[in-house]
Amino acid sequence: MSILSPLQKVPKAVCRRLWNLLSDNNFIPLLTLLKASDGDQRRRLVAAACNLANSFSAVPDLAYHLFRYELKWVGHLPASLFLHSSSLLFPFLSFVTSSKEMLLPGDLSWLHQVMDPVLAAADSIVASEHLSADQILRETPAKLFRPAGSLFLERLKRLSLADFPCTFRGLLYLLADAVDAQLRESPVTSFASAHRVTSSAIATCAETLICCFFGNFILRYAPKHVVQDARDGLGRATSDFSADERTDLVGLRRMREIAERSRVPPTYGAMDKLLRQMASFCWEAVSSLPRRVLRPGSERVAGSETREERENGDREDGRRSRPDSDALATEAALRNVEEQFLAQAGKEIVDWCALQLKLPRLESPLKFSSAVLRKAADEATGEFLQYILRLDRDMREGTFQSGTPGLTERDVATPAYEELLEFAIRASTYEDPASEALGWR
């Protein structure tokens, strides 16, 4: 069965009808399809969903409902696992903060402004220390690129959320509110002028900031001349191995081949790994934040405690902090220099996020590029229609495998899905772009 060609201009009514079906009932049909998919297919569908939503100016609504829906799926897990256990949060946040189709030119320029000096520092370390591709892949990033990591932290701490593009700031606000709402088992609240956030929301936003905003930038937008130099060095290093190489060198070569296939030069791959390692210490760092800042469930604004409450809170904080501090000091003494650096980096990132999320909320509409809006929407329409037909075939042949544990075929095959399937079958017969015989309404 054929389907709409991605090279063929799709009638606007087709895109509109598909979007209406997918976004019905708070986006449940769309989100169910995304949960049913797996691997590369899910990443493509998440991208298609974002592009379709962008064509109808509905990305804020999609983000709101996706965060709320997905956090319910992982709500039984510890909050530290929300971002990485979820099958949709990370792909969605990664795409909308790094996609060429979605990012505004000014947003991308801002990322370059923040990260280019950091990447240049890493490149300078490679040149000054005469580091080979083998060394970069073998040694821990915190050992080789600690000065570049320190520069990143310095640049981050000089910023405030007011300096961020409004879209990035708005996504952090939405995510913080969604995590808080899930933990408090209450609907996601609207932005407040003085919003209390939980430690879990702070750590989740810190991870998102480092991994999705900045980490993905490194992987996608490395300066071309640096990438070329690194690839040349990688190629030369690979050729040095003989057929009778030792087992440990075989593993090292395998790592280099993976890096080469992914087209990420070793220097930038190491910097991406360094940032993600920093982010992994954010959950440890939230335990050291002041209790009154993080008190979940409190609806009073910062600074509204009475004097007696503040004094009692200070005494309680003191009693709790002493053993915690002793334990942290003992643990820190057992860590090597690299681990100490990463732990301190996680603390500084969390402290920065906690401070920024306590400030009065700024107006932060989600704004995305419209440069390739129609082309992206046409391709997204074809992607979804193809997937729906393939899903139907798998169900009929008994080969359906859900991409999400706990999501069954019965959960997918709802009346909303049947309506989508009927529409996809009709679309598969569409051939003439000028024809209106099908009456797309």
Rounded distance between C-alpha atoms, residue 350 and residue 343, angstroms: 11
> What's the pLDDT band for 440 if we cut at 50, 70, 90?
very low
Instruction: Give me the pLDDT at residue 262, please.
Output: 54
| pLDDT value at 295 more than 50 | no
pLDDT digit string, tens, across residues 10-28:
678 889 999 999 999 999 9
> What's the pLDDT band for 265 if we cut at 50, 70, 90?
confident
pLDDT digit string, tens, across residues 39-87:
889 999 999 999 999 999 999 999 999 999 999 999 888 888 888 888 8
The whole-model pTM stands at 0.78
* Domain-wise residue ranges, the chain: 12-83+373-428, 97-295+311-358
Q: How many Cβ atoms are within 10 Å of 227's Cβ, its own excluded?
A: 15
Instruction: Give me the pLDDT at residue 264, please.
Output: 74
Residue whose tokens read 């064509």 = 55
Region of residue 130 (left: phi > 0; alpha: psi -120 to 50; beta: else): left
Whole-Å CA distances, 393 to 6, 397, 407, 423, 425? 21, 6, 18, 15, 12
Mean pLDDT of 285-302: 50
Mean pLDDT of 380-400: 94
Rounded distance between C-alpha atoms, residue 194 and residue 49, angstroms: 33
**Is 319 buried (19+), middle (13-18) or exposed (0-12) by CB count in 10 A?**
exposed
* Number of residues in the chain: 441
Rounded distance between C-alpha atoms, residue 58 and residue 417, angstroms: 21
| pLDDT value at 243 more than 60 | no
Task: Report CA Rg, the chain.
Answer: 24
Nearest CA to 275 out of 432, 159, 149 is that of 149
Instruction: Give me the pLDDT at residue 423, please.
Output: 94
| pLDDT value at 387 more than 50 | yes
- What residues have CB less than 8 Å from 353, skipping those under 6 apart? 202, 203, 205, 206, 209
Q: Which of 111-125, 273-287, 308-322 shows the highest mean pLDDT?
A: 111-125
Report the helix count and the strand count for the chain, using DSSP H and E: 23, 0
pLDDT digit string, tens, across residues 119-134:
999 999 999 999 999 9
Instruction: Give me the pLDDT at residue 327, please.
Output: 57
Q: Copy the structure tokens of residue 293.
A: 């800042």
Mean pLDDT of 382-389: 95
Considering the chain, what percentage of its residues have pLDDT values greater than 90?
Answer: 59
Alpha helices by DSSP H, listed for 185-265, are 199-208, 216-220, 224-238, 247-261
User: 181 with 189: CB under 8 angstroms?
Assistant: yes
| pLDDT value at 103 more than 90 | yes
Nearest CA to 433 out of 378, 373, 354 is that of 378
Mean pLDDT of 391-403: 92
| pLDDT value at 281 more than 90 | yes
| pLDDT value at 374 more than 70 | yes
Nearest CA to 373 out of 81, 12, 3 is that of 12
> What's the pLDDT band for 251 if we cut at 50, 70, 90?
low
> What's the pLDDT band for 178 if we cut at 50, 70, 90?
very high
| pLDDT value at 279 more than 80 | yes
Nearest CA to 117 out of 150, 160, 159 is that of 150
Alpha helices by DSSP H, listed for 97-165, are 105-129, 133-138, 141-144, 146-158
Instruction: Give me the pLDDT at residue 263, please.
Output: 64
Instruction: Give me the pLDDT at residue 356, please.
Output: 96
Tell me which DSSP letter residue 370 carries: -
pLDDT digit string, tens, across residues 308-365:
444 444 443 333 334 455 555 555 555 689 999 999 999 999 999 999 999 999 999 9
